[in-house]
Amino acid sequence: MPKARLEAFADGIFAIAATLLILNVTVVDGHAVGPELLRIWPSYVAYAVSFITLGIIWINHHLVMHQVSHVDRTFLLLNVLFLMVIAFIPFPTRLLSLYITTGDAQAAALAYGVTLTVTAILFNALWRYAAFGRRLIRADAEARVVDGISRSYLPGPIIYFVATVVALISPRVSAGLYLLIALFYVLESSVFGRA
- Among 45, 98, 121, 141, indicate the residue that binds a second copy (CB under 8 A): 98
- Among 45, 69, 88, 176, indicate the residue that binds a second copy (CB under 8 A): 88
Binding mask 108-127 for a second copy (x = CB under 8 A): x--x----------------
133 or 193: CB nearest a second copy:
193
**How many other β-carbons are positioned within 10 Å of the β-carbon of residue 102?**
11
**Stretch touching a second copy by CB under 8 A, among 8-16, 119-127, 140-148, 156-164:** 8-16
CB of 101 to a second copy, least distance (A): 13
What DSSP state is assigned to residue 133?
Answer: G
26 or 155: CB nearest a second copy:
26
Closest CA to 160 of 85, 110, 100: 110
**Stretch touching a second copy by CB under 8 A, among 44-52, 140-148, 149-157, 158-166:** 44-52
**Residue 1 makes contact with a second copy by CB under 8 A:** yes
CB of 8 to a second copy, least distance (A): 5
CB of 47 to a second copy, least distance (A): 7
Where do runs of H (alpha helix) occur along the chain?
4-20, 33-39, 41-67, 73-86, 90-99, 105-131, 143-153, 155-169, 171-194
**Residue 129 makes contact with a second copy by CB under 8 A:** no
Cβ-contact 97, 40 below 8 angstroms? yes
Give the HSE-up count for residue 24: Cα atoms under 13 Å, Cβ half-sphere. Answer: 27
Q: What is d(CA 116, CA 104) in angstroms, rounded to the nearest whole number?
A: 19
